[in-house]
Chains A and B, each alone.
Chain A
Amino acid sequence: MKALLVCEVREGKLLDSSYELMTFADRLGAEKVAVLVGSEGTAPQFDGRVYLVDAATLGEYNPAAHKAAVLAAVAKEEPDYVVLCHSSYGWDLAPRVAAALKVGQVTEIVAIADGGFEVGCCNAKMRRQVKPAGARAVLTVQAGAFAAAPPQGAPRIEQLEVSADGQGLTFKGYEPAEAKAVDLARAEIIVSAGRGIGKKDNVAVIEALAKAFGGELGASRPVVDAGWVDHSRQVGTTGQTVSPKLYVACGISGAIQHLAGMKKSDFVVAINKDKDAPIGEVADVLVVADVLQFAPVLTAALQK
């Protein structure tokens, strides 16, 4: 069995998540071959072949060109699986490759099952097992589901010449993350508000709890998107990644993107009405309660 691992380079650097693909391929028991659009210095370190397509000519985000690069490597290697991280790069590129090969794609794999793959669904409350119909498939792997392999070994690099126009798309550059007004990465205690708080007025209830703990207010994505809390306080893959000594999740169900941002916390308390919410999986203590009723009581208890 052979897996072609599509690694990602951003702003001239290989992303560490590429090494999660290595672990995934090892778990499959597959021979590893890598392909990336980058430069020689960005090739992943392992004992295997790497197809390198020059980023200077193709650019860092140009999906039609990157698709052509992956397809050129597929033609050379005839892999069983083409594997990408489930990232903004991977979920954009994977269906393009799958469509070109007319093969099935399995999205955001969390585990390898007998002859198939496990993926989460229904906000991580449920799982599906998916078995691609043909001999070949495109796979994307959930961030963090497979721990990154340590870089080791020296790759044998082969340059690939690929030319492709942008198929109507022009990459104009990156916009850096906004300067963070609040550095949650340094906070020892974070009390985060989720959709379960219901409305903007209730942010004050969670703020009061954060203050009673002597901690910072955090928030999950829906609360930030609704404009209830500033983006600089968002915890998750598109916000900040945090590792406080105590994380209190208030009315947060535990979407994968949020869990990825807070799972390094030392101790996690979740307050949620739903006993089955995925946040329960990472919580050291799950308080089954309406957060709007419970938070003021807890605030009072802390102030005693």
Chain B
Amino acid sequence: MKLLVCIKQVPDLESRFKPAADGLWFDENDLAWRLNEYDEYAVEQAVQLKEQLGGEAELTVLSIGPDRVVEAIKKALAMGADKAVHVQDIAAHQKDPWQIASTIAAYAGEQGFDLIFTGMQSQDRGSAQVGVLVAELLGLASATTLVGFSYADGVVQAKRELEGGMKGLVNLRLPALVTCQLGLNTPRYPTLPNIMKAKKKEIRPIPVAELLREEPLAPTTSFYAPARKGGGLVLEGEPSETALKLVNILKEKTAVLR
């Protein structure tokens, strides 16, 4: 069985963001990069399925972006993916979800994957479109926001997370695509031997121009910090003093402390 997992490298979300000179995305200086958290769950689920299937499965990881995304690819390889595709694009951040999905579909369409995994969204852009768009472009069954996954005999049994703790149960006949939600599994930490093994695995570079034929359908026109409503009081300084101030405020403004 041929498996694909699509991943994105994102900045640490604890970072402070400021607009880049073009005013359309963030300035990349001083940012630390990591594997998109939702995609970690996708990689883990794909690796678990590969382990369940034994020798008959091959897992490919794909990422689009500049050279730095190879670090995220290496992490997925160290987690257990077999080989990788790096779609080289120094301007990936300017592409809209339609263009990203079209690029992935152009690659995946030729390969005939049985099952594709993605995160349900990226942590930075959060458009939550790419996975489903890839499935639609390839004519695959798909389900989003998985918090439960099992596979047997060509059918994925999936549990979708709905609102308020409710779940939706669906079966997907392969070929299919699933998008993964936080909490689906426990992503493994790559071990040192697996990190060493990953260094020998193939990362195939493909220039984005070989795959992308589409213009953006929903372009970003500006990027900025939201206007602060402010209003709230900000307390800073020595913890013991701040704590006393806070207790006094709570006594004054709320009925819960007397």
Q: How far is the CA of A197 from the CA of B232 in the complex (A)?
A: 23
A238→B161 contact, CB < 8 A? yes
Main secondary structure of the interface of B (DSSP, over half): mixed
Is residue A182 within 8 Å, beta carbon to beta carbon, of the partner chain?
A: no
With a cutoff of 8 Å between Cβ atoms, the chain A residues found around residue B165 in the complex are: 177-178, 231, 238-240
Query: Which residues of A247-302 have CB atoms within 8 Å of chain B's CB atoms?
Result: 253, 266-267, 269, 274-276, 280-289, 293-294, 297-298, 300-302
Knowing A95-B136, A221-B182, A298-B243, the reply to whether A174 touches B221 (Cβ < 8 A) is no
B246→A285 contact, CB < 8 A? yes
With a cutoff of 8 Å between Cβ atoms, the chain B residues found around residue A14 in the complex are: none
B220→A128 contact, CB < 8 A? yes
Closest to B11 in A: A122
Is residue A98 within 8 Å, beta carbon to beta carbon, of the partner chain?
A: yes
A96→B220 contact, CB < 8 A? no
Knowing A104-B96, A116-B221, A129-B222, the reply to whether A286 touches B133 (Cβ < 8 A) is no
With a cutoff of 8 Å between Cβ atoms, the chain A residues found around residue B183 in the complex are: 221, 224-225
Is residue A245 within 8 Å, beta carbon to beta carbon, of the partner chain?
A: yes
B233→A133 contact, CB < 8 A? no
Q: How far is the CA of A237 from the CA of B165 in the complex (A)?
A: 8
Is residue B163 within 8 Å, beta carbon to beta carbon, of the partner chain?
A: yes
A132→B218 contact, CB < 8 A? yes
Q: How far is the CA of A92 from the CA of B146 in the complex (A)?
A: 11
A294→B242 contact, CB < 8 A? yes
Q: How far is the CA of A11 from the CA of B171 in the complex (A)?
A: 19
B216→A104 contact, CB < 8 A? yes
Is residue B169 within 8 Å, beta carbon to beta carbon, of the partner chain?
A: yes
Q: How far is the CA of A171 from the CA of B220 in the complex (A)?
A: 36
Q: How far is the CB of B187 from chain A (nearest CB, A)?
A: 10
**CB contact between B226 and one of A120, A132, A285 (< 8 Å): that residue:** A120
Knowing A275-B234, A287-B235, the reply to whether A126 touches B133 (Cβ < 8 A) is no
A103→B232 contact, CB < 8 A? no
B144→A286 contact, CB < 8 A? no
Q: How far is the CA of A63 from the CA of B26 in the complex (A)?
A: 35
Is residue A155 within 8 Å, beta carbon to beta carbon, of the partner chain?
A: no
Main secondary structure of the interface of A (DSSP, over half): mixed
Closest to A286 in B: B234
With a cutoff of 8 Å between Cβ atoms, the chain A residues found around residue B170 in the complex are: 61, 169-172
Q: How far is the CA of A178 from the CA of B165 in the complex (A)?
A: 7
Is residue A106 within 8 Å, beta carbon to beta carbon, of the partner chain?
A: yes
A168→B136 contact, CB < 8 A? no
A123→B239 contact, CB < 8 A? no
Closest to B24 in A: A128
A88→B144 contact, CB < 8 A? yes
Is residue A34 within 8 Å, beta carbon to beta carbon, of the partner chain?
A: no
Knowing A127-B224, A284-B232, the reply to whether A133 touches B216 (Cβ < 8 A) is yes
**CB contact between A96 and one of B13, B120, B136, B162 (< 8 Å): that residue:** B136
Q: How far is the CB of B30 from chain A (nearest CB, A)?
A: 14
Knowing A122-B17, A286-B234, the reply to whether A174 touches B167 (Cβ < 8 A) is yes
Closest to A276 in B: B16
A253→B124 contact, CB < 8 A? no
With a cutoff of 8 Å between Cβ atoms, the chain B residues found around residue A246 in the complex are: 250, 254, 256
Q: How far is the CA of A195 from the CA of B39 in the complex (A)?
A: 18
Q: Can you show 10 pairs from A to B with CB atoms below 8 A apart?
A: A92-B160, A130-B219, A169-B143, A170-B172, A173-B168, A221-B182, A222-B182, A267-B250, A280-B228, A293-B239
